[in-house]
């Protein structure tokens, strides 16, 4: 119909409004599609990688070599593969490369780049190691006197996070990498220099407990690491889980909320067309025809914004997929395409919401008679806010009535101001909470500086340091591990309640860390059942208290209590804690951990990656904040055109009009800012609470005063920028507007 | 002369769609006079009023009100002129809906150097008992009187009224016109009234007829009548 010509004209005459809506839609769509696609595609490819590689369900080491693998497999319906390896030194370097032969059933390797092995002198190396050693495909590498030709880049799913020891906290690709050579090359190494680990995959028929018990009885289980406790495999998975809340909850919610907000704004815009709707209705257009006609005005920014958002998201995919995988992990997939699901949602949701909002508003507007619409008369006129006799200036009364007498509009403005603030506050609270966790968690573990995990059980008292009986246990009905510590010297570790009172390490008193209490849902007075990793023997332990420690899954008691529980000699110990460095030989130790390395590892593992990712979100949040506030106050100006025009006629200057009409929402600013910050921190708290098990840490919600100030500053700045952009709007209002019919 | 308009021209559009809203308008009026401008729709009378009020500017010609030459003023100069010297009354009242009667008048009093007493003015215009009401709680005549109070509170040199009785019934129209008569008498305010209504011309000191942007009649009213005797 001829009315359709109005679309482009309407778009032109309200260019800044429609442009703002389109850009805002494009931004939220881009944010959603880019993150959802990067996250979704990468997670999907991660799961595919694990499937294709026939990832182990667990790995274990035994005291005696398993000589009847087939019998074990048939009896317990499992697949077991012996996976020997050898660590070779790189010439002219401190680095070591762990060499594997290609496995046949479990933990299959994938050639990520280059070509597969062809000759005995070919070697595949992991990407991060090559990168750190400045090696490229086609180069040669000398390992313990043998020269290999690097034919490609490899990924082994059991070494995605390339830890030399499974108990290590962080990887060091400057010193350690993995390689795969042909079986015929591998068999030429000295057997005595090799180590062997067994990988197992269970089937539906497997009774895991029975298998593990049988394994321990026949071969003596030295170690058993379930896939869920294997940091080499779990770390990349945890990376995804850390972000799942942000990507799967925060960003879609932001998009939906923004879209709804824009839909309401569009609806209000159409409300201003009431007179025109009345005229067209009087000319014979039917209600639904007019509602449909105006719906297209909603569809245009929805479709345009959706398409632009999807297009903008494509170049963001590659850098985002890099950011999603922390730089200590093997990058297993570069995302280059967006998902159908996210792009479909992004294209349909805004358009549908805008069309529905406009359609409904148009229908509501047409409830009165055409004459009422043309004359601007309304049935059920709302009551004006009072203050009739209050001794206030008309300016103050006008502002108060404009704010409190138009509550839906006011709520919309508060939401607009708060929304940007929420995103900004969430990102800052997230970074602050993690930073605080990193800063305090290591400190609150105790006064020790070094932990020496001994390779064998000792008895008595060490020459220096405090003796600790430490052993890892599984928690019944939970795949996570808990460390049981028996210690007498409480100057080394803190076992204090939240008020700072020390728990007495009396006989048979067991205390659990805050982190474990949260993860395993136990409190003082409850009983928690732990079980030995090797023989699966269960030990019910009564929890006498919960001590402050949000970073470690720990249970602490006196050394005698723990040894009694484990049927060990009363003075046995497996760990020495010390405030100074002790001269243990490598052969005496399983591993050595210093507090500073722990702190550094925590920072590198969870803090840096998060910071990298959150900063782009902050930038987008600021842009969203500016545009949202602009749109919200723009509604006010549109709805106040006749007042602005009349004030001009009466001789008011633009600045004075801005102070009366445009700046009325200054008093809502503190509410919007406070609401935004509050919402941001609540989302952050929910984020960390929902991920305690995933982070393996209990991260408390925390925002520094500095960040609070920055959040306030950013929201304030966004508001000021919006006001600046809007102040020129008053200039554009023509005085003749007031000459049009403007009856109450 | 208090009002002087010399060869004022205002055109809209171009080519075939060119409209000469004011085509060489010349007229003048003395201070304290009531001038009624009559003419059919589209004759250019509202354009003339907008020029006199500093809302719009002519393409050429000169307009002088008192000592102010409007045609040499920029936007801010015209704004100052409207602020200090002109009062407007429109057919559609243009009151601010979120303000009461008293507050609507206060809007102008607030930017005036020597405003009249709002309460006295409302008393004069029989609006004292309605001063705390919002516009929508008033009749059309009461709203128009409120608009007049708002226009007068700055004690303007000139009061410009655009079809001020256009939306009123005859009784309300007479009430409003009687107010204008009283104001003119008491404050010696120069009043310009634009109307279709020939009957209103009876209260004028000067009658101007305008047609197709040209003044076709500019004469003194020898038979000036009190509003109470007008046939409107």
DSSP state of A156: E
Pairwise CB contact (< 8 Å): A384 & B98: yes
Weakly modelled stretches of chain A, pLDDT under 50: 742-744
Query: Do A365 and A435 belong together in one domain?
Result: no
Residue A93 lies in a domain: yes
Do A684 and A743 share a domain, yes or no?
Answer: yes
User: What pLDDT does residue A198 have?
Assistant: 95
What is the span of the domain harbouring residue A70? 64-219
Backbone angles phi, psi at A316, to 5 degrees: -85, -10
Q: Are residues A405 and A470 in the same domain?
A: no
Q: Given this model, what pLDDT does residue A405 score?
A: 83
Judge if A141 and A273 occupy the same domain: no
Are residue A140 and residue A187 in the same domain, yes or no?
Answer: yes
Q: How many interchain CB pairs under 8 A, A with B? A: 91
User: Is A588 inside a domain boundary?
Assistant: no
Q: For the beta carbon of residue A707, count every other beta carbon within 10 angstroms.
A: 19
Do A511 and A612 reside in the same domain of the chain? no
- Asked whether residue B107 is domain-assigned, the answer is yes
The two structure tokens encoding residue B152: 């007068």
Does A666 map to a domain? yes
DSSP states of A300-368: HHHHHHHHHHHHHHHHHHHHHHHHHS-TTB-------S--HHHHHHHHHHHHHHHHHHHHHHHHHHTTS
Cα(A513)–Cα(A498) distance, integer angstroms: 11
Displacement of CA A615 from its chain's centroid (Å): 13
Domain assignment of residue B88, yes or no: yes
Give the whole-angstrom CA distance, residue B109 versus residue B118. 8
A19 and A136 both lie in a single domain: no
Q: Is the pTM of this model over 0.90?
A: no
In terms of domains, do A376 and A306 share one? yes
Is A652's CB within 8 Å of B162's CB?
no
Q: Chain A residue with minimal CA distance to B96?
A: A643
Q: Are residues A178 and A262 in the same domain?
A: no
Maximal CA-CA distance, chain B: 55
Beta carbons of B99 and A397 less than 8 Å apart: yes
pLDDT of residue A742: 43
Decide: A540 and A569 in contact? Cβ < 8 Å: no
For A403, nearest residue in chain B (alpha carbons): B98
- Reference A312, options A99, A515, A23, A550; nearest CA is A23
Query: Residue A173 falls within a domain, yes or no?
Result: yes
Q: Which of A356, A381, A406 is the last residue of a domain?
A: A381
Question: Angle at the Cα of A437 (from A433 to A439), degrees rounded to 5?
Answer: 115
DSSP B42: T
Q: The CATH number of the domain where B223 resides is what?
A: 3.40.50.300
The count of domains in chain A is 4
| Beta-strand relationship, A176-180 and A96-100 | parallel
Q: Do A639 and A573 reside in the same domain of the chain?
A: no
Q: Are residues A649 and B55, on separate chains, in Cβ contact within 8 Å?
A: yes
Q: pLDDT for A511-570, tens place per residue?
A: 998 888 887 888 999 999 998 888 888 899 999 999 988 777 889 999 999 998 888 898
Nearest CA in chain B to A743: B92
Tell whether B4 is covered by a domain.
no
The pLDDT of residue B226: 92
Helix axes B101-109, A394-404, angle to 10 degrees: 130
Classify residue B1: in a domain, yes or no: no
Give the bridge partners for A100, in sequence order.
Answer: A85, A180
Same domain for A242 and A363, yes or no, is yes
Out of A402, A652, A739, the one facing B98 most closely (by C-beta) is A402
Answer yes or no: do A35 and A72 share one domain: no
CA angle A99, A102, A103 (to 5 degrees): 115
Q: What is the CA radius of gyration of chain B?
A: 17
Q: Do A401 and B98 touch (CB under 8 A)?
A: yes
Of the residues A550, A580, A610, which one is the last residue of a structural domain?
A: A580
Instruction: Give the residue among B191, B183, B158 at the shortest CA–CA distance from B67.
Output: B158
Q: Could you please report the per-residue DSSP string of A23-82?
A: HHHHHHHHHHHHHHHHHHHHHHHHHHHHHHTT--SEEEEESS----HHHHHHHHTEEEEE
Judge: B84–A651 Cβ closer than 8 Å, yes or no.
yes
Is A227 part of any domain? no
Is there a domain that residue A253 lies in? yes
Which residues of chain B have a CB within 8 Å of the CB of A388?
A: 100, 132-133
Within a domain: A135: yes
Distance between CA atoms of A635 and A433, rounded to whole angstroms? 37
CA A334 – CA A299 distance, rounded (Å): 34
Q: What's the rounded Cα separation, in Å, for the pair A273 and A270?
A: 5
**Span A314-345, pLDDT tens digits:** 888 877 777 766 555 666 666 678 888 888 98
Whether A387 maps to a domain, the answer reads no
ipTM of the complex: 0.86
Chain B residue numbers touching A647 (CB-CB < 8 A):
107
Number of structural domains (chain B) is 1
Q: Which domain holds residue B39?
A: 32-55+84-229
């Amino acid at each position: 119909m001829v009315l359709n010509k109005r679309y482009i004209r309407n778009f032109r005459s309200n260019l800044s409004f429609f442009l703002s809506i389109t850009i805002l839609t494009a931004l939220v769509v881009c944010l959603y599609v880019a993150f959802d696609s990067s996250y979704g595609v990468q997670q999907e490819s991660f799961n595919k990688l694990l499937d294709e590689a026939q990832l182990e369900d667990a790995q274990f080491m035994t005291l005696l070599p398993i000589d009847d693998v087939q019998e074990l497999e048939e009896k317990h319906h499992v697949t077991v593969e012996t996976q020997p390896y050898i660590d070779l030194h790189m010439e002219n370097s401190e680095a070591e490369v762990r060499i594997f032969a290609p496995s046949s059933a479990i933990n299959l390797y994938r050639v990520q780049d280059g070509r597969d092995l062809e000759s005995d002198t070919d070697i595949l190396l992991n990407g991060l190691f090559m990168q750190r050693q400045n090696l490229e495909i086609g180069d040669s590498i000398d390992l313990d006197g043998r020269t290999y030709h690097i034919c490609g880049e490899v990924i082994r799913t059991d070494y995605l996070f390339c830890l030399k020891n499974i108990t290590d906290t962080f990887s060091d690709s400057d010193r350690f990498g993995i390689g795969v050579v042909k079986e015929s090359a591998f068999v030429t190494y000295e057997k005595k220099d090799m180590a062997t680990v067994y990988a197992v995959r269970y089937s539906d028929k497997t009774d895991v407990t029975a298998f593990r018990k049988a394994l321990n009885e026949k071969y003596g289980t030295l170690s058993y690491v379930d896939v869920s406790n294997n940091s080499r495999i779990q770390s990349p998975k945890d990376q995804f889980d850390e972000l799942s809340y942000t990507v799967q909850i925060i960003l879609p919610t932001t998009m939906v909320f923004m879209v709804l907000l824009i839909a309401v704004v569009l609806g209000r815009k159409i409300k201003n067309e009431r007179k025109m709707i009345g005229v067209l209705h009087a000319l014979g257009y039917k209600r639904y025809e007019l509602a449909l006609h105006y719906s297209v005005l909603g569809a245009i920014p929805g479709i345009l914004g959706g398409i632009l958002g999807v297009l903008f998201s494509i170049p963001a995919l590659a850098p985002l997929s890099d950011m999603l995988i922390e730089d200590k992990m093997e990058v297993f997939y570069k995302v280059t395409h967006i998902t159908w699901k996210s792009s479909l949602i992004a294209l349909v949701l805004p358009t549908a919401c805008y069309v529905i909002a406009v359609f409904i508003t148009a229908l509501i507007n047409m409830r009165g008679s055409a004459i009422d619409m043309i004359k601007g008369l309304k049935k059920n006129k709302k009551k004006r806010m009072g203050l009739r006799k209050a001794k206030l200036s008309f300016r103050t009364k006008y502002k108060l009535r404009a704010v409190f007498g138009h509550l839906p509009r006011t709520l919309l403005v508060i939401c607009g101001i708060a929304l940007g603030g929420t995103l900004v506050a969430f990102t800052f609270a997230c970074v602050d909470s993690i930073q605080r966790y990193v800063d305090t968690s290591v400190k609150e573990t105790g006064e020790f500086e070094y932990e020496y995990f001994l390779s064998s059980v000792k008895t008595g008292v060490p020459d220096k340091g405090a003796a600790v009986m430490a052993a890892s246990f599984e928690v019944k009905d939970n795949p996570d591990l808990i460390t049981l510590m028996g210690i007498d010297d409480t100057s080394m570790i803190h076992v204090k309640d939240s008020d700072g009172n020390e728990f007495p390490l009396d006989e048979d008193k067991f205390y659990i860390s805050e982190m474990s209490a949260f993860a395993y849902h136990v409190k003082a007075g409850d009983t928690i059942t732990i079980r030995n990793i090797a023989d699966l023997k269960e030990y019910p332990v009564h929890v006498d208290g919960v001590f402050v420690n949000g970073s470690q899954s720990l249970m602490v008691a006196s050394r005698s209590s723990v040894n009694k529980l484990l049927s060990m000699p009363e003075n046995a110990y497996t760990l020495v804690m010390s405030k100074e460095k002790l001269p243990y030989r490598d052969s005496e130790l399983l591993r050595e951990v210093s507090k500073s390395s722990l702190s550094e590892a925590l920072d590198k593992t969870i803090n840096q990656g998060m910071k990298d990712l959150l900063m782009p979100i902050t930038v987008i949040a600021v842009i969203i904040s500016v545009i949202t506030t602009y749109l919200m106050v723009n509604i006010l100006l549109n709805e106040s055109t006749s007042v602005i025009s009349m004030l001009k006629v009466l001789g008011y200057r633009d600045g004075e009009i801005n102070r009366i009409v445009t700046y009325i929402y200054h008093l809502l600013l503190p509410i919007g800012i406070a609401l935004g910050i509050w919402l941001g921190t609540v989302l952050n708290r929910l984020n960390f609470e929902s991920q305690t098990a995933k982070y393996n840490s209990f991260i408390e919600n925390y925002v520094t005063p500095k960040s609070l100030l920055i959040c306030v500053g950013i929201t304030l700045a966004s508001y000021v920028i919006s006001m600046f952009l809007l102040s020129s709007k008053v200039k554009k209002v023509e005085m003749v507007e007031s000459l049009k019919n403007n009856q109450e | 002369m208090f009002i002087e308009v010399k060869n004022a021209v205002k055109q809209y559009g171009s080519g075939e769609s060119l409209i000469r809203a004011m085509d060489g308008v010349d007229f003048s009026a003395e201070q304290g006079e009531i001038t009624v401008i009559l003419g059919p729709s589209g004759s250019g009378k509202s354009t003339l009023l907008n020029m006199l009020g500093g809302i719009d500017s002519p393409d050429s010609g000169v307009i002088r009100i008192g000592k102010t030459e409007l045609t040499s003023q920029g936007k801010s100069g015209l704004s100052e002129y409207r602020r200090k010297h002109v009062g407007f009354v429109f057919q559609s009242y243009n009151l601010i809906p979120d303000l009461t009667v008293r507050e609507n008048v206060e809007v102008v009093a607030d930017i005036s150097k020597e405003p009249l007493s709002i309460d006295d003015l409302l008393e004069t215009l029989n609006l004292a008992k309605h001063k705390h009401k919002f516009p929508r709680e008033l009749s059309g005549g009461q709203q128009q009187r409120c608009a007049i109070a708002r226009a007068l509170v700055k004690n303007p040199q000139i009061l410009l009224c655009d079809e001020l009785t256009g939306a009123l019934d005859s009784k309300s129209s007479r009430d409003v016109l009687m107010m204008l008569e009283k104001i003119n008498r008491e404050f010696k305010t120069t009043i310009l009234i634009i109307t279709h209504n020939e009957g209103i011309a009876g209260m004028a000191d000067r009658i101007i007829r305008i047609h197709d942007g040209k003044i076709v009649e500019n004469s003194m009213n020898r038979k000036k009548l009190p509003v109470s005797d007008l046939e409107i």
